Structure 1
Amino acid sequence: MTKKTIIKSFYFLLFTLFVFSCKKEESVNSENQKPSASEAISQSEPHPDSIKTNPVKESAAPMIQENGFYNAFAIPKDSKKRDSLYAIFSKKYSERERYAILALNRLDSKSKWNSDTLVVPAKIDTTLMAYSPFPLQLDILTDVKKFVIFSYPIQAYAVYSNGTLVKWGPTSMGKKTAQTDRGLMFANWKKKLAISTVKSEWKLPYNFNIHNTHGIGWHQYDLPGYPASHSCLRLLMKDAIWLYSYADTWILNPGGATTKAKGTPVIVFGDYPWGKRKPWRKLLEDPNANNISVEEMNRIIQPHVEKMISEQTNREKVADSIKTAKASEAALKETTSTEN
């Protein structure tokens, strides 16, 4: 074999090895680009109430997914892992902070794991006022001393005094088959412990009736994270106690058969997105997702302002009249007692 032939054979061998190496690398890259099982699942159509999360192994410890103003606290289905999560949750947040987090998710402590994800603020405000979906000021209510409004769409209530927001919180309103009446109503009578007319086993602490003929009222009861009541307006215990003291009752004529003056005005409005993603989950993408604008609130309230002010004025006159009559009666008894 000549020297020239040996050189040609050497270069041919190098070329063959190079081509084989390229094809092998191309094959490996092609296999690596195939989606894994977890990636295939993540690329499928998401459930309307789900959130975007990175795929994690089932055995991975529960963690908070940092998204910005609000974060997602994923809750595993396995009961043992839930216990582990509760320990982490309790260690990370104080009792008041846990209360606030659950309230934002329309949950009470009894129903704390009645969800697969908790929406958690990056900074906890235990008063909840930093997360209010309601406007802080409504000039349209300047002349209305007390006012309560319930939003069906976001399952939340708000309290205004002369147009200033003084409190807001979560609620669980009537389920789809037993929805709460919408529109303007007024606070009627109240009772610290009422018995449900639907089931006598249901005890309703700090019940405040707002629709006497339909038996609708607000009171403390379970908040499971969705509309679940038989038309009443469920509240957390602290909120039920607060509203029990805040709102004014009706004033009845002698004998109690007719109303002499109405109590605090209450409006229930809107509709819940039945079967769709829970509204507060949208906060993970947009911290203003649940906000109700001043314009929308004005549109809801405007048709009822004249009626509310009229009833308020009447109640003040009736209350003053009763107060004057009682004072006169007391003075008369004192005079009679002195003379005797």
Structure 2
Amino acid sequence: MKSKLFIPLTLTILITTAYSCNNSDQNNIPAAVDSTVKGIVEKVAPPKKENLKPVITYSWVKKKDWLSAKDSFEGANHLDLLNAINRVDTRHLKRLDSILVPSDYSQEVKMYLPFPEEVDALKDIHKIIFFSYPTQVFAAYENGKLVLTGPTNMGRKSKKTPRGLFFTNWKAKKTRSTVDDEWILKWNFNVHNKWGVGFHEYALPGYPASHSCMRLLEADAKFLYSWADQWILKNDYERLAYGTPVLVFGTYPFGEPRPWFQLSENPKALDIPADSIASYVKPHLQTIIERQQQRQQVAASQSATP
């Protein structure tokens, strides 16, 4: 009985090997053998899940034409999508001469923005926030899964947002800018205490316009304010643990058309592959993991203290 089972399996492997060496003969594989081969392949090497997004195209619409359209300002979802696609807030959206609109309004905001939904290289990082300078988009991940993404307006040419790895430290629901007392920053989360750089709610005109900070829409600023972690301090001068890692990357083409204008010609022009995210993180991965572990140890120690 054992030999009967062993012989067909052996023959199947031999036949599979023979046909795999000659592509021209693959159409002649007997149906029964082909079915067996497919079964083995599916069990040994299942298809890898890809970060696939629906195909959405974009086109330009004159503001006067768009305003006259029946569905122009109907529904908050439309506004959320148009704000994200054009990197503006609603007030500035209404000021644009032409608006970049999608062919499909039915998807979630993340489907219209360039960051991938999953990044395997981030699976060991509990929380991390990315700011892409060229696309003017941020993304927050938990263990490699995208939890929030949206538009941002970063530092203007003369006051560029510094690039590299930072960590969130202190936060405030409302504070005044150290640069100008008239600038009220809501849902502010600082990432560089000495330079005064952070992310917060503020006007989004649709291009890098800040004094080095990362501007956000109100809903996004509120989410990150609650989601990201503050540093842990021993006293006013000693830090016990770092907050959430924040990675700023890329270069903005100042003086050239805004990068998202390319979407009307190529809807995938700004896509950021998972491999690219991995490459940005790789030089900082050890530091991120070490500080993450340090934070866990401090938190555990504090919770154990009566």
TM-score (norm: length of structure 2): 0.78
- What is the count of residue pairs matched by the alignment? 251
1-structure distance, mates of 2:147, 2:279: 21
Q: CA deviation at 1:118?
A: 1.3
Q: How does 1:313-324 map to 2 (within 5 A)?
A: 313-324=293-304
Q: What one-letter code is carried by the residue in structure 1 that aligns with 2:167?
A: F
Match of 1:70 among 49, 58, 76: 58
SS of the equivalent of 1:99 reads helix
SS of the equivalent of 2:173 reads strand
Q: Is the 8 A contact 1:153 1:279 kept in 2?
A: yes
Q: CA deviation at 1:110?
A: 1.6
Q: What one-letter code is carried by the residue in structure 2 that aligns with 1:292?
A: I
Residues 108 and 126 of structure 1: is their aligned pair in 2 closer, same or farther, counting only changes over 3 Å? farther
* Superposition misfits of 4+ residues, deviation over 6 angstroms: none
Q: Is the 8 A contact 2:84 2:113 kept in 1?
A: no
Q: CA deviation at 1:324?
A: 1.3
Rg larger in structure: 1
1:298 match: 278
Q: CA deviation at 1:113?
A: 3.2
Residues 282 and 93 of structure 1: is their aligned pair in 2 closer, same or farther, counting only changes over 3 Å? farther
Match of 2:255 among 275, 284, 305: 275
2-structure distance, mates of 1:160, 1:114: 33
Q: How does 1:24-173 map to 2 (within 5 A)?
A: 69-75=57-63, 82=64, 85-88=66-69, 91=72, 93-125=74-106, 127-173=108-154
2:33 match: none
Matched, 1:310 2:290: yes
> Which runs of 5 or more structure 1 residues have no equivalent in the other structure?
1-67, 76-81, 329-340
SS of the equivalent of 1:171 reads strand
Matched, 1:213 2:194: yes
Q: What one-letter code is carried by the residue in structure 1 that aligns with 2:99?
A: L
Q: Is the 8 A contact 2:122 2:278 kept in 1?
A: no
SS of the equivalent of 2:158 reads coil
Q: How does 1:1-20 map to 2 (within 5 A)?
A: none
> Which runs of 5 or more structure 2 residues have no equivalent in the other structure?
1-55
Measured on the aligned residues, the alpha-carbon RMSD in Å equals 1.6
1:55 match: none
TM-score (norm: length of structure 1): 0.71
Q: What one-letter code is carried by the residue in structure 1 that aligns with 2:237?
A: A
Q: Is the 8 A contact 2:188 2:200 kept in 1?
A: yes
Q: CA deviation at 1:209?
A: 0.3
Q: What one-letter code is carried by the residue in structure 2 that aligns with 1:86?
A: L
Q: Is the 8 A contact 1:97 1:126 kept in 2?
A: no
1-structure distance, mates of 2:293, 2:161: 28
Sequence identity (%): 42
Q: What one-letter code is carried by the residue in structure 2 that aligns with 1:218?
A: F
Q: Please give the per-residue CA displacement for 1:149-191, whole angstroms capped at 9, x wherever unaligned.
A: 0000010001111011111100000000001111000000100
Q: CA deviation at 1:92?
A: 6.2
Residues 278 and 125 of structure 1: is their aligned pair in 2 closer, same or farther, counting only changes over 3 Å? farther
